Amino acid sequence: MAISTSLYDFITDYLKKDTVSFHMPGHKGSKFYKRFGYHNFLERIMEFDISEIPGADNLFQAESIIRGVQEQYAMLYGCKRSYILINGSSAGNIAAVLASVNRGKQLLMARNSHKSVFNALTLGGIRPVYVHPEIVEEYGLSGAIPPSEIERLIIENPDVQAIMLTSPNYYGFCSDIKTIADIAHKYKKVLIVDEAHGAHLHFSNFLPPSAISSGADIVINSTHKTLGSFTQSAALHFNSELVDPYVLEDKLQCIQSTSPSYILMTSMEITAKILEQHGEILMKEWYDNLNMFYDRIQKIPGLRTTGKMEGIDWTKINLTMGELGFTGSELDKILIEDYNIYTELFTGDWLMALSGIGNNKEDYNWLADALEDISRKAISSGIKELKSKQKKAALTPPKQATMFEIPVEVKKVKLEDSEGMICGRSIIPYPPGIPLVCPGERIDADAITYIKALRELGERVIGISEFGEVIVGI
Ligand SMILES: Cc1ncc(COP(=O)(O)O)c(C=O)c1O
């Protein structure tokens, strides 16, 4: 594709191609709404872009039609209250933390939390206590959070007021939320689950249980990632005895736009209606398509997946063709350039194809055909060697650094020059996707050496600019 000069041109060019989406958003294009008769919404999208005219309600004081959508979500998810978010799960995560932890107190949080959680720490003057996810040794990916660690850290840190976990994580690994909720409530702590990647779990009977049905106090869902609403729309579900809903509502209005998009909110309503009326059949189709797909790809020589193991949201299709010599990024490039297939992310020699409620059988067959073809060609042309993995295994990650206050004022410096400075933005090698240095931690010589070695091996490290700079406190 030629480099476009504008957003409009880029998207227009992209739409000319016949593509398949295994990335966000979950609706995968207009065919999903058309299937259920929402042509009017699609054709008159600009007319739906209204603001708070009389009768149109107000997101931050919802009394009529917006309240109706929120009540619909609360009913669907079986909780006391649900809130529409128009600034994504990012806004929900921040509001949930600010409503649950007082300034100066502590949040027990997964080390691999989304950056919005780190932003909440800065905004709220909150100190973190980190809990590390397990590494799933067989795949080298980050997995679930051990409940026993949660209990140990609560006991050791009396200032902890809430616990915040990501489940499912980027690769679909889910934590045992039921056990963790029981532990949290035994000590009267709030459990917040960033379930941005798992809005669909609540509707399936073949995936791990949803966090809201497992006893979490507050759950945040990016309905745009796997279900049918538009990008940037999301939902926050509330089921707590420990948090005041009015404080939460105040935090939500504090950090979200005062001009909520009625297009986003209508897409939330349409998604709720589709789930209510057709949820069962859609989940059955998703299940059947995935089963057909996994059956096919399990027979492909040189391809490995994390498969349908227990405790994993296997709608996220993790696959590697490392045995055939491909890194995840090489596979991603081949899928785009030769097969018009867009996947969600790659890390090391893994690639994650994110299926959504809008994918149909043809999409899965398209991807399976492509993977079969790639395997066949790689084998017939001789297998390349994948070197980075062995070399990476020989590197020893540095110990966790000492924690200081998270800097509010920051600047960029070259990684080489950052020794002794306080990190302002997480530095995260992928895989496994667990920050090596978190905001507020001192960057030491060992961390710099390790990060440089990873980058020289072509590993992906986020939190470093294309010019090799990191963000540090001033
Ligand atoms: C784990 C996790 N939480 C929260 C978010 C933020 O979600 P949103 O894009 O809806 O703001 C993301 C975004 O990718 C995420 O990966």
Q: How confident is the model at residue 393, as a pLDDT? A: 53
Q: How confident is the model at residue 457, as a pLDDT? A: 75
Q: How confident is the model at residue 23, as a pLDDT? A: 96
Two tokens, residue 443: 């960057």
Q: How confident is the model at residue 281, as a pLDDT? A: 98
Predicted confidence (pLDDT) per residue in 141-156, tens digit? 889 999 999 999 999 9
Q: 39-274 sits in which CATH class?
A: alpha beta
Two tokens, residue 457: 């091996």
Q: Is the ipTM of this complex over 0.95?
A: yes
Strands (E) across 226-355 are located at: 234-238, 304-305, 316-320, 341-343, 345-347, 350-354
Distance, in Å, from the CA atom of 339 to the CA atom of 325, rounded to the nearest integer, reads 19
390-473 CATH, one of 3.10.129.10, 2.60.40.3140, 3.90.100.10, 2.40.50.140: 3.90.100.10
Q: Give the Cβ contact number of residue 473 at 10 Å.
A: 18
Q: How confident is the model at residue 456, as a pLDDT? A: 82
CA proximity to 347, closest of 424, 248, 443, 461? 461
Report CA-CA distances (Å) from 196 to 167, 301, 447.
Answer: 8, 33, 30
Indicate the pairing of strand 345-347 with strand 428-430. Answer: unpaired
Q: 7-29+280-380 sits in which CATH class?
A: alpha beta
CA of 252 from ligand 1 middle (Å) equals 16
User: DSSP class of residue 173?
Assistant: B
Q: How confident is the model at residue 458, as a pLDDT? A: 74
CA proximity to 113, closest of 409, 462, 434, 471? 434
Ligand 1 binding pocket, CB closer than 6 Å: 88-90, 93, 114, 116, 166, 194, 196-197, 222, 234
Per residue in 350-365, is it b (16+ CB within 10 Å) or e — as a string?
bbbbbbbbbbbeebbe
Q: How confident is the model at residue 96, as a pLDDT? A: 98
Angle between helices 328-339 and 361-380 (to 10 degrees): 110
Distance, in Å, from the CA atom of 223 to the CA atom of 246, rounded to the nearest integer, reads 23
CA of 197 from ligand 1 middle (Å) equals 7
The segments of the chain whose pLDDT lies below 50 read none
Q: Which atom of ligand 1 is nearest to the CA of 113?
A: 1
Q: How confident is the model at residue 404, as a pLDDT? A: 78
Q: Domain extents for the chain?
A: 7-29+280-380, 39-274, 390-473
Q: Are 318 and 306 in contact (CB under 8 A)?
A: yes
Q: How confident is the model at residue 388, as a pLDDT? A: 54
Three-state SS letters, 137-157: CCCCEECCCCHHHHHHHHHHC
Distance, in Å, from the CA atom of 274 to the CA atom of 271, rounded to the nearest integer, reads 5
Q: Which residue puts its alpha carbon closest to atom 16 of ligand 1?
A: 114
Q: How confident is the model at residue 3, as a pLDDT? A: 63
CA of 390 from ligand 1 middle (Å) equals 32
The distance from CA 298 to its chain's CA centroid, rounded to whole angstroms, is 26
Q: How confident is the model at residue 58, as a pLDDT? A: 97
